């Protein structure tokens, strides 16, 4: 097999032709078992047992499939031991995409490719696949399985370049990050034709689904209303999933704030999606993608958004919050948060407050009624106040049983680590926290420093918290106080309004109603 570097001597115009004419020397070879699996998963008459029989003949493939099926991404109660059961659990499309990914990684050294770059691209592709599935579920799209393969392999052109022309791939990636408007011209200069044309030809060569070929041949356009045709719905979801995955993994690249804003304004409305729903799909997608990736030796660090080590601040509020959501989701999966991604470094004090509306409250009301665990409900309530209502700081503190003190549990906003360490406030009769815990209504305070004159405010806590006005309310389960939620605008200087207070009070009320429901249920 020829190394990839030999292709570098061809002229750009002959790049595609040389790939096809000299295959398999210039293209990765898919093992016969992989080709059989790809063919079977495209046949609607195939069963899990048909595919399981093929997988059993390939020990490496079988080990990977069973490993994924037993991962937390699929929440199995009993261990999965057979490839047939694993295929039935995972689904044909995840199996198909995983087969291609694993074999590309295996052949990276043979082609002289940069394995780290290839894995990063595959991580982005996996996120696109899981993101598309989660969006499909959110809008009740029936064929969510096909979304995974089409969304993941939508970046097929980048994957091929990473293997066959890594030097060109890296050049194009630099241009994409620094000046995306020049990418199309650069592709013609370096490759002789647009990358999506090359990708479509490769998809045909590998006999990948026709729906994917159609996607690669022409970039989908945003619909003005929800399309009736499944193909149009699928095209919109695939585009959205891929733009999201690139944007969230490369938030510092040029123009990504505008890309995300365009997606929010043009993709969400036709499908009736809210920002809360989008945030949930992002969290689930990154968690699931990182679990799948671990089975094919893609390190979870590839799923962390690019850091802000150079001091750059994300000025797009939605991009800032979604990247925080990813760090939190992956931290729960075992990845420590990056030093450069701490909230105090990402916060943008110039962001305007988000107006309150009925839709976020409706979303919260509906989703909170589906939650079965108090801890998940409290996390959801805290995050909703931060994401949907423009409060710069939102903190949940719980009563420590038997110790007469409040201790921070969940927080969003600037200087989160410092506040977390300092938020240990004593409870004594008549102090602010004691009065708050025995109040059945939320309050507005002018300053915790002033409220702390009666005691209960440690000096180090007040020093990092500051003198900003805010709202506070008590959580009950069901008739005893268990904690408090505090919200404010931090140091932005934006005033709190009556509408803000009403939104805070309504979310707090819904949270307490669901805490009572859960207490009664148990």
**pLDDT tens per residue, range 153-175:** 899 889 888 888 888 889 999 99
> What local confidence, expressed as pLDDT, does residue 469 receive?
92
Instruction: Provide the greatest CA pair distance for the chain.
Output: 83
Task: Report the CATH number that the domain containing residue 426 is assigned in CATH.
Answer: 3.30.450.40
97 and 68 in contact (C-beta within 8 Å)?
no
Q: What is the pLDDT of residue 496?
A: 85
Kindly give, in sequence order, each residue whose CB lies less than 8 Å from that of residue 188, ignoring residues fewer than 6 positions away. 12, 194
* Mean pLDDT score, 228-250: 93
To which residue do tokens 């009301």 refer?
365
Element (H, E) at 434: helix 432-437
Parent domain of 502: 365-521
The neighbouring-strand residues paired with 443 are 472
Supply the pLDDT for residue 249.
93
| Average pLDDT over the chain, rounded to an integer | 80
From 322, 350, 374, give the residue that closes a domain. 322
pLDDT higher than 50, residue 414: yes
Position 348 scores a pLDDT of: 36
Q: Which two tokens stand for residue 412?
A: 């969003």
Q: What share of the chain has pLDDT > 70, as a percent?
A: 82
User: Whole-structure pTM over 0.85, yes or no?
Assistant: no
Tell me how far CA of residue 100 lies from CA of 22, 372, 421, in angstroms. Answer: 20, 38, 46
Same domain, 296 and 410: no
CA pair distance 296, 101, nearest whole angstrom? 8
When pLDDT is averaged across residues 376-389 and rounded to a whole number, the result is 87
Asked which of 322, 354, 389 is the last residue of a domain, the reply is: 322
pLDDT class of 17 with cuts at 50, 70, 90: low
Does residue 370 sit in the same domain as residue 441? Answer: yes
In this structure, the answer to whether residues 296 and 432 fall within a common structural domain is no
Give me the number of domains the chain comprises. 2
Q: Indicate if the alpha-carbon torsion angle 509, 327, 234, 388 is positive or negative.
A: positive
Point out the least confidently predicted range of 1-10, 109-118, 265-274: 1-10
Residues 310, 198 within the same domain: yes
pLDDT of residue 401: 84
Rounded distance between C-alpha atoms, residue 259 and residue 100, angstroms: 29
% of the chain beyond a pLDDT of 90: 19
What SS3 state is found at 333? coil
∠ at Cα 150 (289, 109), nearest 5°?
A: 65
To the nearest 10°, the Cα dihedral for 265, 267, 270, 274?
-70
How far apart (Å, rounded) are the C-alpha atoms in residues 40 and 476? 54
Give the per-residue pLDDT at 493.
Answer: 65
Helix or strand run (H / E) with residue 197: helix 195-205
Mean pLDDT of all residues in 20-38: 62
Q: Is residue 360 part of a domain?
A: no
pLDDT bin (cut points 50, 70, 90) of residue 351 is: very low
| pLDDT at residue 424 tops 60 | yes
Average pLDDT over residues 409-429: 87
The predicted pLDDT at position 13 comes to: 45
- In whole angstroms, give the CA distance from residue 234 to residue 217: 15
pLDDT bin (cut points 50, 70, 90) of residue 347 is very low
Token match 């989703």: residue? Answer: 367
Residue 349 is assigned to a structural domain of this protein: no
**Strands ordered across the beta sheet of 443-445:** 424-426, 405-412, 393-400, 481-488, 470-476, 443-445
Query: Which tops the pLDDT comparison, 231 or 103?
Result: 231
CA 499/CA 95 separation, integer angstroms: 49
């Amino acid at each position: 097999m020829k190394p990839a570097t030999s292709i570098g001597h061809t002229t750009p115009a002959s790049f595609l032709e040389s790939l096809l004419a000299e295959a398999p020397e210039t293209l990765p070879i898919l093992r016969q078992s992989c080709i059989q699996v790809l063919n079977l998963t495209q046949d609607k008459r195939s069963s899990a047992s048909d595919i399981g029989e093929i997988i059993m003949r390939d020990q490496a493939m079988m080990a990977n499939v069973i490993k994924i099926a037993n991962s937390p991404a699929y929440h199995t109660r009993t261990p999965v031991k057979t490839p047939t059961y694993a295929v039935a659990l995972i689904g044909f499309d995840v199996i198909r995409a995983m087969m291609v990914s694993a074999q590309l990684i295996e052949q990276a050294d043979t082609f002289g490719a940069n394995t780290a770059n290839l894995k990063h691209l595959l991580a982005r592709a996996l996120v696109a696949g899981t993101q598309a599935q989660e969006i499909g579920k959110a809008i009740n799209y029936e064929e969510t399985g096909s979304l995974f393969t089409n969304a993941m392999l939508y970046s097929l052109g980048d994957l091929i370049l990473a293997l066959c022309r890594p030097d060109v791939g890296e050049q194009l990636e630099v241009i994409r990050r620094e000046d995306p408007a020049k990418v199309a011209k650069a592709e013609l200069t370096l490759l002789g034709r647009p990358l999506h044309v090359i990708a479509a030809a490769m998809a045909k060569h590998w006999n990948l689904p026709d729906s994917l070929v159609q996607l690669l041949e022409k970039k989908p356009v945003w619909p003005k209303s929800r399309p009736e045709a499944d193909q149009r719905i699928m095209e919109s979801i695939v585009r959205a999933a891929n733009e999201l995955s690139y944007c969230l993994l490369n938030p510092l690249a040029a123009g990504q704030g505008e890309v995300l804003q365009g997606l929010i304004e043009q993709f969400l409305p036709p499908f009736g999606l809210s920002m809360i729903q989008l945030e949930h799909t992002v969290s689930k997608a990154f968690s699931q993608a990182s679990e799948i990736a671990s089975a094919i030796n893609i390190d979870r660090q590839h799923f962390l958004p690019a850091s802000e080590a150079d001091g750059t601040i994300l000025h797009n509020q939605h991009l800032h919050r979604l990247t925080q959501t990813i760090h939190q989701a992956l931290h729960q999966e075992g990845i420590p948060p990056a030093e450069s991604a701490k909230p105090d470094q990402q916060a943008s004090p110039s962001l305007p407050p988000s107006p309150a509306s009925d839709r976020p409250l409706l979303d919260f009301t509906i989703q909170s009624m589906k939650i079965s665990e108090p801890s998940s409900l409290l996390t959801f309530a805290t995050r909703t106040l931060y994401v949907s209502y423009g409060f710069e700081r939102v903190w949940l503190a719980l009563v420590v049983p038997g110790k007469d003190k409040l201790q921070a549990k969940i927080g969003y906003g600037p200087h989160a680590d410092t506040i977390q360490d300092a938020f240990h406030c004593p409870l004594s009769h008549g102090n602010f926290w004691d009065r708050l815990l025995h109040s059945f209504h939320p309050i507005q305070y002018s300053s915790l420093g002033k409220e702390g004159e009666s005691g209960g405010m440690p000096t180090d806590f007040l020093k990092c918290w500051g003198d900003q006005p805010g709202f506070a309310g008590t959580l009950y389960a069901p008739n005893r106080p268990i904690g408090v939620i505090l919200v404010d605008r931090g140091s932005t200087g934006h005033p709190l309004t009556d509408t803000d207070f009403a939104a805070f009070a309504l979310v707090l009320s819904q949270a307490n109603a669901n805490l009572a429901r859960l207490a009664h249920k148990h």
